[in-house]
Amino acid sequence: MSDFDFIVVGAGPAGSSAAIRLATAGSSVLLVERADPPGSKAVSGGILWGRDLDGLIPDWEKSAPVERYIDFKSTSFLTRDSKISIDFRSKKFEEKKTGYSVLRAKLDQFLALKAKAAGATLVTGITVDSLARKENRIVGVVQDGDTITSDAVILAEGANPRVAIESGLREPLRDRDCAIGIKQIVKLSEATVNERFNLTGNSGYAGEFALGYLEGGVRAGGFLYTNKDSLSIGVVIAMENLRANGSTYSYDIMEKFMEHPYVKPLVEGGRVQEYSAHLVPEGGIDSMPKLFGDGYLIAGDSASMTFSNGMIIQGMNYAIASGAMAADSLLEAAKKKDFSGAALSSYQDRLEHSQVLMDLRKFRGIDKVTWSRLVHEVAPGMMENILFSMFYEDGNPKKHLAEIILGSLSKANMKRSELIMETYRMLRRM
């Protein structure tokens, strides 16, 4: 007889969501987390999109430690001197709240404690060394020489899935599979946050930025989210570009973003409460390992379930959804007492009919847009030239818009045919 019905490795959004579902259904569950308390190793801050917690914690909007609901969204292109933005605000977001800023240290602990309250055994400060096998099937975990057995294991380790890699359940990460994320939490008063971003009540801002002014061919994006009385601000840097450059440091890019003339005033006077770095899954469906096998399932960031198209970044919602679906597949398998790969393939079926894999398949190759030369090196400068030419008044006769655009095209360091093809590819993938 196994020590537990199921073991979940990792108490992030994916793992805790799985444990909540399993424990609520009456299964004995061990939820193992290396951080103590849960969330203390997570890079704090982000946007929780969607309604995936509805089926796990019905009153989560009232009880979860959410910061602000997002009713102000922007995408910006930065050059050395300019900021070109697409902003969207809507009163409809007050009625249909679809995104909340959260601090992961608080959210992860909340979810883990919900799993514990549902009946899961929560063990923190423990690092799983490896997976236990019997006749080629996963039958538990090994920690410090001790084996803890279960009918099946859910791996929800996060973006750096060490146990899955070392156990041969997925290939080692390549540069194209991930990016480096650096984030700061900058403390400001609630009144200052509201004033600087023109917010009222619990409304919030979420912005993504293309940093089109970096030297050396390094491509990076920035983000800035408002919390109640702080800002989550950071950069995500393409690993391939950073390694190829060989002389630019990630923390230098963070400082350049913070010092940009249209970012600096937003954080001015703030006190840095937290500074951390981590890996960000970027490869999407092309980086995804096999999600199931004899006695195991993989969920959340461990399975590269993250989406970014430059305008919106999603990951926590996919983690919660995949964790719940992994749990449902195990509960179904338990009725048949069959935890073979064939039985657990129902997890793949569930994902295929959900927004998780539908989104990732529909936008396959979107990373080639978000990290393209067009987005990071060509478009910001072109837009700056066009808009400056339109709005700057120097007393000379005005140019026709077509003339301005053609002039900007000639200044762009990209052949016109290449520009047209890259734009077409971008629109097709988006």
What pLDDT digit, counting tens, does each position of 26-58 carry? 999 999 999 999 988 887 779 999 999 999 999
Q: Report the distance separating Cα 233 and Cα 261, nearest Å.
A: 15
Looking at residues 408-424, what average pLDDT do you find?
A: 65
Q: 383 vs 338, which has greater pLDDT?
A: 338
Q: 312 vs 127, which has greater pLDDT?
A: 127
Number of neighbours of residue 390 by Cβ within 10 angstroms: 12
Q: 154 vs 416, which has greater pLDDT?
A: 154
Percent of the residues in the chain that have a pLDDT greater than 90, as a whole number: 66
Looking at residues 256-281, what average pLDDT do you find?
A: 94
- Asked whether residue 418 carries a pLDDT value surpassing 80, the answer given is no
Q: 408 vs 249, which has greater pLDDT?
A: 249
Looking at residues 172-199, what average pLDDT do you find?
A: 94
Least confident range from 85-99, 218-232, 397-411: namely 397-411
Looking at residues 72-78, what average pLDDT do you find?
A: 95
Q: Report the distance separating Cα 143 and Cα 34, nearest Å.
A: 11
Q: Do domains 4-65+103-171+289-364 and 176-281 have the same CATH topology?
A: no
Q: Where are the domains of the chain?
A: 4-65+103-171+289-364, 176-281, 372-429
- pLDDT, one tens digit per residue, over 124-147 is 999 999 999 999 899 999 999 999
Q: Report the distance separating Cα 122 and Cα 368, nearest Å.
A: 40
Q: DSSP characters for 323-335?
A: HHHHHHHHHHHHH
Q: What confidence tier does 242 reach under pLDDT thresholds 50, 70, 90?
A: confident
The pLDDT of residue 383 is 84
DSSP-based three-state secondary structure for 95: helix
Please return the burial class of 133, using the count of CB atoms within 10 Å of its CB with bins 0-12, 13-18 and 19+: middle
| Strands annotated E in 43-177 | 46-49, 66-78, 83-89, 99-102, 121-124, 130-134, 137-143, 146-155
Closest Cα partner for 219 from 314, 88, 78?
78
Tokens of 249: 């440091």
Looking at residues 285-289, what average pLDDT do you find?
A: 93
- Choose which CATH entry (3.50.50.60, 3.40.50.300, 3.40.50.970, 3.90.1170.50) describes domain 4-65+103-171+289-364: 3.50.50.60
Q: Report the distance separating Cα 170 and Cα 299, nearest Å.
A: 12
Predicted model pTM = 0.92
The pLDDT of residue 204 is 97
- pLDDT, one tens digit per residue, over 344-400 is 999 999 999 999 999 999 888 887 777 777 777 888 888 888 888 888 888 888 787
The pLDDT of residue 264 is 97
- pLDDT, one tens digit per residue, over 104-129 is 999 999 999 999 999 999 999 999 99
Q: What is the dihedral of CA 372, 376, 382, 385, to 10 degrees?
A: 180
- Asked whether residue 154 carries a pLDDT value surpassing 70, the answer given is yes
Q: What confidence tier does 430 reach under pLDDT thresholds 50, 70, 90?
A: low
Work out the mean pLDDT of the chain and round it to a whole number.
90
- Choose which CATH entry (3.40.50.300, 3.30.9.90, 3.40.720.10, 3.40.50.150) describes domain 176-281: 3.30.9.90
Number of neighbours of residue 392 by Cβ within 10 angstroms: 8
The pLDDT of residue 282 is 86
* Tokens 């409809």 found at: 92
Tokens of 92: 């409809």
